[in-house]
Amino acid sequence: MTEVFSIRPATPGDLDAIGRIQESAPEAAQWAPEQYLAFRVLVAERQGTIAGFIVWRETAADEWEILNLAVEPAQRRQGVGGALLRAALRHCRGAVYLEVRASNRSARAFYQAAGFRIAGRRPGYYSNPAEDAVLLVREPV
Protein backbone atom coordinates (compact mmCIF):
# COMPACT_ATOMS: atom_id res chain seq x y z
CA MET A 1 0.00 0.00 0.00
CA THR A 2 1.37 3.43 -0.90
CA GLU A 3 1.39 5.82 2.01
CA VAL A 4 -0.69 8.88 1.26
CA PHE A 5 0.48 10.77 4.32
CA SER A 6 3.70 12.36 5.46
CA ILE A 7 5.53 12.02 8.77
CA ARG A 8 7.07 15.14 10.26
CA PRO A 9 8.07 16.63 13.62
CA ALA A 10 5.15 18.17 15.50
CA THR A 11 4.90 21.91 15.96
CA PRO A 12 2.95 23.95 18.53
CA GLY A 13 0.33 24.47 15.80
CA ASP A 14 -0.40 20.73 15.87
CA LEU A 15 -1.37 20.60 19.56
CA ASP A 16 -5.11 21.11 19.04
CA ALA A 17 -5.24 18.22 16.57
CA ILE A 18 -3.12 16.06 18.88
CA GLY A 19 -5.52 16.83 21.72
CA ARG A 20 -8.57 15.90 19.62
CA ILE A 21 -6.98 12.62 18.51
CA GLN A 22 -6.00 11.78 22.07
CA GLU A 23 -9.55 12.50 23.32
CA SER A 24 -10.96 10.22 20.62
CA ALA A 25 -8.73 7.38 21.85
CA PRO A 26 -9.63 6.66 25.50
CA GLU A 27 -7.26 3.68 25.47
CA ALA A 28 -4.33 6.06 24.82
CA ALA A 29 -2.45 8.01 27.48
CA GLN A 30 -4.21 11.27 28.30
CA TRP A 31 -1.59 13.98 28.77
CA ALA A 32 -1.94 17.71 28.35
CA PRO A 33 -0.83 18.02 24.69
CA GLU A 34 1.52 20.93 25.38
CA GLN A 35 3.57 18.64 27.64
CA TYR A 36 4.51 16.54 24.62
CA LEU A 37 6.68 19.28 23.16
CA ALA A 38 9.26 18.57 25.89
CA PHE A 39 9.81 15.20 24.19
CA ARG A 40 10.18 13.89 20.65
CA VAL A 41 6.91 14.07 18.74
CA LEU A 42 6.05 13.10 15.19
CA VAL A 43 2.74 13.55 13.43
CA ALA A 44 1.30 11.84 10.38
CA GLU A 45 -0.40 14.31 8.10
CA ARG A 46 -2.84 13.40 5.33
CA GLN A 47 -4.26 16.07 3.02
CA GLY A 48 -3.47 18.83 5.51
CA THR A 49 -5.04 17.00 8.46
CA ILE A 50 -3.19 15.35 11.35
CA ALA A 51 -4.07 11.64 11.26
CA GLY A 52 -1.99 10.48 14.24
CA PHE A 53 0.98 11.15 16.48
CA ILE A 54 3.70 9.41 18.46
CA VAL A 55 5.64 10.71 21.47
CA TRP A 56 8.80 9.19 22.92
CA ARG A 57 11.77 10.08 25.07
CA GLU A 58 15.22 8.88 25.97
CA THR A 59 15.18 7.56 29.55
CA ALA A 60 18.83 6.46 29.82
CA ALA A 61 21.78 5.85 27.54
CA ASP A 62 20.54 3.38 24.92
CA GLU A 63 17.04 3.21 26.44
CA TRP A 64 13.84 4.83 25.17
CA GLU A 65 10.19 4.96 26.16
CA ILE A 66 7.18 5.44 23.93
CA LEU A 67 4.81 7.67 25.87
CA ASN A 68 1.88 7.70 23.48
CA LEU A 69 0.79 6.65 20.01
CA ALA A 70 -2.70 7.49 18.83
CA VAL A 71 -4.44 7.58 15.45
CA GLU A 72 -7.67 9.33 14.52
CA PRO A 73 -10.36 6.59 14.60
CA ALA A 74 -11.34 7.10 10.93
CA GLN A 75 -7.66 6.74 9.93
CA ARG A 76 -6.96 3.50 11.82
CA ARG A 77 -5.89 0.30 10.06
CA GLN A 78 -4.51 2.29 7.13
CA GLY A 79 -0.81 2.14 8.05
CA VAL A 80 -0.62 5.41 9.97
CA GLY A 81 0.30 3.88 13.35
CA GLY A 82 2.85 1.53 11.82
CA ALA A 83 4.50 4.34 9.87
CA LEU A 84 4.70 6.51 12.98
CA LEU A 85 6.18 3.66 15.02
CA ARG A 86 8.78 2.83 12.35
CA ALA A 87 9.77 6.49 12.06
CA ALA A 88 10.23 6.82 15.83
CA LEU A 89 12.18 3.56 16.09
CA ARG A 90 14.67 4.84 13.51
CA HIS A 91 15.68 7.46 16.11
CA CYS A 92 16.05 4.98 18.97
CA ARG A 93 19.39 3.26 19.51
CA GLY A 94 18.86 0.67 22.19
CA ALA A 95 15.92 -0.89 23.99
CA VAL A 96 12.49 0.69 23.59
CA TYR A 97 9.85 0.26 26.31
CA LEU A 98 6.17 1.11 26.61
CA GLU A 99 3.15 0.26 28.71
CA VAL A 100 -0.25 -0.69 27.34
CA ARG A 101 -3.51 -1.46 29.08
CA ALA A 102 -3.82 -5.19 29.75
CA SER A 103 -7.24 -5.18 28.06
CA ASN A 104 -6.00 -3.43 24.90
CA ARG A 105 -5.46 -6.58 22.86
CA SER A 106 -5.25 -4.80 19.52
CA ALA A 107 -2.43 -2.52 20.75
CA ARG A 108 -0.59 -5.48 22.25
CA ALA A 109 -0.85 -7.38 18.95
CA PHE A 110 0.26 -4.28 17.01
CA TYR A 111 3.40 -3.84 19.11
CA GLN A 112 4.21 -7.55 19.22
CA ALA A 113 4.00 -7.67 15.41
CA ALA A 114 6.56 -4.81 15.41
CA GLY A 115 9.03 -6.87 17.45
CA PHE A 116 8.05 -5.97 21.01
CA ARG A 117 7.78 -8.70 23.63
CA ILE A 118 6.14 -8.80 27.05
CA ALA A 119 8.66 -7.85 29.73
CA GLY A 120 6.38 -7.63 32.75
CA ARG A 121 3.21 -6.27 34.29
CA ARG A 122 2.56 -3.14 36.35
CA PRO A 123 -0.37 -3.82 38.71
CA GLY A 124 -2.85 -0.94 39.05
CA TYR A 125 -0.84 1.28 36.70
CA TYR A 126 -3.85 2.87 34.99
CA SER A 127 -6.85 4.69 36.43
CA ASN A 128 -10.21 5.62 34.88
CA PRO A 129 -10.75 2.66 34.86
CA ALA A 130 -8.22 1.03 37.15
CA GLU A 131 -6.24 -1.56 35.24
CA ASP A 132 -2.88 -3.26 35.05
CA ALA A 133 -0.34 -2.31 32.41
CA VAL A 134 1.57 -4.80 30.32
CA LEU A 135 5.19 -3.68 29.93
CA LEU A 136 6.57 -4.31 26.45
CA VAL A 137 10.15 -4.02 25.23
CA ARG A 138 11.84 -4.09 21.84
CA GLU A 139 15.49 -4.98 22.12
CA PRO A 140 18.04 -3.50 19.73
CA VAL A 141 18.33 -5.40 16.47
The catalytic residue positions are 99, 111
Amino acid identity for residue 126 in this structure: Y
* CA-to-CA separations, 66 to 36, 46, 48, 53, in angstroms, rounded: 11, 23, 25, 11
Strand partners, 8: 43
Of the candidates 116, 113, 108, 114, the one whose C-alpha atom is nearest the C-alpha of residue 137 is 116
CA distance 29 to 20: 13
